[in-house]
Amino acid sequence: MSNLDKYFQKIRKRGHRLTNNRVAIIEILENQHLNFKELQKELNKRGFHNVSSIYNNLDFLVRENIIVELYIGNTKYYDLAAFNPGHDDDNHIHIIDHKTNKINDLVSNEIFDFIKNHPDLKDINPDYIRIIIGKNSNRNN
């Protein structure tokens, strides 16, 4: 089963309607992190123009833990949560390239384990770990 099918099945299993708009949002967010404007632009291309229904569907998908909202600077991005090979709904490491504004997932369970097992966090037992790493392309060499 593909990751996309897992999302679709999760929605159906909970007795919710898998509308074309919800399918489109999930498909568009596969492998990319988009802010509302970027997502809206992609949805427009697929014939979804109703802004309030886009907002309603995003709210629904966030409530169902299918999408997470991710704040980088003052901008909110949308990202697939569960079943994402890069992270789950609680734990993310994102790298933002300041030159291109592209956001990528860093896949590293070692980092999560290291943080969770760190002596300073032993009594805290963190609910989630979200890390944003900024990258400046100009500094590569």
Closer of 42 and 105 to Zn ion (Cβ):
105
Please, what is the minimum distance in Å from the beta carbon of residue 79 to Zn ion? 4
Q: Give long-range contacts, CB 8 A cutoff, 24+ apart: 84-90.
A: 84/3, 85/3, 89/65, 90/127, 90/128, 90/129
Please, what is the minimum distance in Å from the beta carbon of residue 123 to Zn ion? 29
CA-to-CA dists, residue 53 to 49, 59, 68, angstroms: 9, 10, 18
List, in order, residues 6 or more apart from 95 with CB less than 8 Å away: 103, 104, 105, 106, 132, 133, 134, 135
Please, what is the minimum distance in Å from the beta carbon of residue 116 to Zn ion? 19
CA 25 to chain centre: 12
How many residues touch Zn ion under the rule CB under 5 A: the total is 2
- x-marked contacts with Zn ion along 44-83 as a string, rule CB under 5 A: -----------------------------------x----
Closer of 90 and 105 to Zn ion (Cβ):
105
Footprint (CB under 5 A) of Zn ion, residues 79-138: 79, 105
Kindly list the residues in this chain that would bind Zn ion in the complex (CB under 5 A): 79, 105
